[in-house]
Amino acid sequence: FQRLVRNVPGAETTQIPYLKQFVLSKPTQYRKLKIEWRQNTYLAKSRIQGLGLFAARDLEKHTMVIEYIGELIRNEVANKREKLYEEHNRGIYMFRLDDDCVVDA
C-alpha cells in the first residue's frame, strides 16, 4: 500500500509506506484477528515439531496473525518441561520471548 503525502506547498508529492493495520487500534486488530484467523492461517504437520501454524495467503508485514496464549515461565523451567514432554511423547509448543522468558502453550 502506498499513500501520497504533500510535504510543503509547491513541493513534489512523495510516496511513503502505508499499512492499514496501523490505522486500527490494537483492540480492533484483535477483534478482526478473531474473525479472520481461519482465512489467514492453517495447521499442518511441521518439519520442525508436531503441528505448525502456516500462512494461508500472503500477509502484510506486521499483521497480527494469532494470539499465543500460555503460561509465562523462566528458561530453566522451560528446559525441564521440554525434557518431561519428550519423555511422555507430548508435543512441545513453547514460544521463546527472550533469553529469560518462554510462553508454554
pLDDT digits (tens, 9 = 90+) for 39-57: 888 999 989 878 888 999 9
The pTM score is: 0.56
Check residue 71 and give its pLDDT. 95
Q: Could you count the other beta carbons within 10 Å of the beta carbon of residue 78?
A: 19
Check residue 20 and give its pLDDT. 54
**Residue 98: which pLDDT band, with cuts at 50, 70 and 90?**
very high
Mean pLDDT of 4-24: 50
CB 40 within 8 A of CB 55: yes
Rounded-to-integer distance, Cα 92 and Cα 105, Å: 8
